[in-house]
Amino acid sequence: MNEPAFNRYGVLAIYRFEMARGLRTIWQSLVTPVITTSLYFIVFGSAIGSRMTHVGGVSYGAFIVPGLILLSIFQQSIFNGAFGIYMPRFIGTIYELLSAPISPPEIVLAYVGAAATKSIVLGLVILATASLFVPLHVLHPFWMIAFLVLTSVTFSLVGFILGIWSKSFEQMQFIPMLIVTPLTFLGGSFYSIDMLPPTWRTVAYFNPVVYLISGFRWSFYGKADVGLEVSLGATLVLFFACLAIVSWMFKTGYRLKS
Amino acid sequence: MFRVTQSDLADPVTSSLSRTGESPRANEPVLANPAPPIVTIRSLTKTYASGLQALKSINLDIRKGEIFALLGPNGAGKTTLISIICGIVTPTAGQLMADGHDILRDYRAARIKIGLVPQELTTDRFETVWQTVTFSRGLFARAPDPAFVERVLRDLSLWDKRKSSLQTLSGGMKRRVMIAKALSHEPNILFLDEPTAGVDVELRRDMWALVRRLRESGVTIILTTHYIDEAEEMADRIGVINKGELILVEEKTTLMKKLGSKRLTLVLQEPMKTIPDALAEWNLKLQSGGNELAYSFDINAEHTGVPSLLRRLTDLGIGFRDLATSQSSLEDIFVSLVSERGGRP
């Protein structure tokens, strides 16, 4: 039998495996983020938000929705992307992946595709949950979906890189907890960058998450801290940087092959 | 435990593992008509980042349809060699072809022909037997074929366990699952890395029977082992590897003939305290408290010295009640080979 140019059965096998793992851990991957997000709405949206003025003409409860969605997407994309490739390394089943007639782009497509799918579903579920708390209107649905997909894929790639880099579970949790979450909180999830003092505003522009949240929020309300092109460009730069790192990892066999 | 009988061999389930157009190679005299190589290894070296030179310019041809045993002590380079052919470890230099395909340049075509059963029982805990075998088939670019997966599972006596999660299976069952995974994409080259390491005697025999059946279905089998009896029992040819060097590759029977020696043991009628000077030329040894006289001789020598020894014993009036000869085992040969090179078997 001739080998196929594209191993679609291999990609599907990994994708289904990862999606099945997501279903097995649905409490962790879907229900927990929804509950956490609901708590954010209760605390920030209702308790604190009721005492705050509108932000750029949008009620505070509605204003934080895009940031809250992205916060969960960042965390879950990284976790799912990392866990998917780290587990075979950890338990030893990576031998099968490395010995299979499947190319590095196909492996990335399968693992990152599955992680991103789960994140997109999660994002839409959180959006639906949010609509129970605050009146929502998405001004640019196409861009909202585009940012949702691009952010999910990019951060799943970040997770995939993390999963290959990590030597332990501790290392795998280190990056999301100590780097991504602070960047997200400081990146305008709960406030507009304009609300910061000038110095901190300048510092904030070095935070790549600012651009992601700004672009995503623009798709909802048509208002942003930075321009759409800048947001899109920053997201794409991050995406291609991740692709380059993954490509280097497979080319050199970094922590995959000896 | 699964048992293999003659009726199993005739079972359509078993024969279903054969690919169309490939004739069974059972009992085919390998020496008389050597098959073309299906795996070709040329000047293969591997030096790990730590500086350890695991393989030193290995050259080897594996013939189509044979069972090749790679024998060597722990750390000899057996697993490294297998891992390179299967794509898990990157070679430092050299060329490898699997079924006519370069394993690096044409890795898709090469890997689709190869199945690997690793030494470690590495399985996902929560997958069922059916899921994990189906996963492997897809991963190796084969279209879904539930009927084939069913045949593999039935052949390995795993059908009843198809819905069981892997964490509930015994070690022996898990090893069979590993084999089922390796066979799921219908490979024609199968690598078995220490297939019977840590398994009980009964399962070991079952594994041997299974390997023979696979060979009969046309699969070329390369197994690594440090159990000499395993190589002796199963292999057509044997390669001995030590400290990254392939010391020897030989037909098993030729190897035993070439390097083997026989031992003649005479049970004496009267115990002997010392060996008489008149028997000095035969290099005899007394054993069992002087009740037995042992003589080692080269079976290929023009004069083995056995008839003359027996005549001299009669002349000296030394009687014996019984005599027996035994062939040296592969283990003896292996120990002597590795010791000669300063290695530790």
3-state secondary structure A37-75: HHHHHHHHHHHHHHHCCCECCECHHHHCHHHHHHHHHHH
* For residues A119-145, average pLDDT: 91
Please give the pLDDT value at position A48: 74
pLDDT value for B342: 58
Alpha-carbon distance A89 to A239, whole Å?
Answer: 24
pLDDT over threshold 90, residue A89: yes
Residues of B near A (Cβ–Cβ under 8 Å) read 48-49, 86-90, 107-112, 114, 116, 118, 120, 122-127, 131, 134-144, 181
3-state helix, strand, coil in chain B (%, to 5): 35, 25, 40
- Predicted local confidence at residue A109, as pLDDT: 97
Q: Pick the residue with more confidence: A53 or A100?
A: A100
Residue A200 CA: distances (Å) to CA of A186, A197, B265: 10, 6, 95
User: A150-160 pLDDT, tens per residue?
Assistant: 999 999 999 99
pLDDT score of B6? 32
Do residues A204 and A210 touch, judged by C-beta distance below 8 A? yes
- Burial per residue of A162-191, b for 16 or more beta-carbon CB atoms within 10 angstroms, e otherwise: bbbbbeeeeebeebbeeebbebbebbbbbb
Residue A52 pLDDT = 72
Q: Taking the model in full, what pTM does it have?
A: 0.82
Nearest CA of chain A to the CA of B190: how many Å? 12
CB contact under 8 A, A9 and B114: no
pLDDT digits (tens, 9 = 90+) for A173-210: 888 888 888 888 888 888 888 888 888 888 888 888 99
Q: Which of A2, A3, A257 to mutate to test the interface with B (most CBs of B within 10 A)?
A: A3
Residue B49: closest C-alpha in chain A? A258
Give the CA diameter of chain B: 78
Q: Which residues contact B327 (CB under 8 A, 6 or more apart)?
A: B256, B260, B262, B299
pLDDT at site B7: 34
Q: Which two tokens stand for residue B313?
A: 């014993």
**How confident is residue A36, by pLDDT bands cut at 50, 70 and 90?**
confident
And the tokens for A42?
């209760």
Label the pairing between strands B261-268 and B292-298.
antiparallel
**Contact check, Cβ <8 Å, A100/B140:** yes
Could you give the dihedral angle defined by the CA atoms of residues B155, B158, B160 and B161, in that order, rounded to the nearest 10 degrees?
A: -170
Give CA–CA dist A18/A24, Å, rounded.
10
Chain A, chain B: beta-carbon pairs less than 8 Å apart: 88
**Residue pLDDT tens, chain B, 345 long:** 333 333 333 333 333 333 333 333 333 334 456 778 999 999 999 999 999 999 999 999 999 999 999 988 888 899 999 999 999 999 999 999 999 999 999 999 999 999 999 988 888 888 999 999 999 999 999 999 999 999 999 988 899 999 999 999 988 889 899 999 999 999 999 999 988 877 778 778 888 888 898 999 999 999 988 777 788 888 999 998 988 999 889 998 887 776 667 889 999 999 998 999 999 888 898 988 899 999 988 776 777 888 899 999 999 999 999 999 887 666 677 777 777 665 554
For an interface test with A, the pick among B19, B140, B148 (most A C-beta atoms closer than 10 Å) comes out as B140
CB contact under 8 A, A98 and B87: yes
| Interchain pair A17, B135: CB under 8 A | yes
Closest residue in B to A102 (Cα–Cα):
B108
Contact B136 A96 (CB under 8 A): yes
* Cα B193 to Cα B82: distance, rounded to the nearest angstrom: 8
- For B92, name the nearest residue in chain A, comparing CA atoms only: A258
Give the 3-state secondary structure of residue A126.
Answer: helix
Torsion angle, alpha carbons of A233, A105, A166, A35, to 10: 60
Is ipTM strictly over 0.95? Answer: no
Pair B241, B71: CB distance under 8 Å: yes
Helices vs strands, H then E, count in chain B: 12, 14
Contact at CB, A257 and B107, closer than 8 angstroms = no
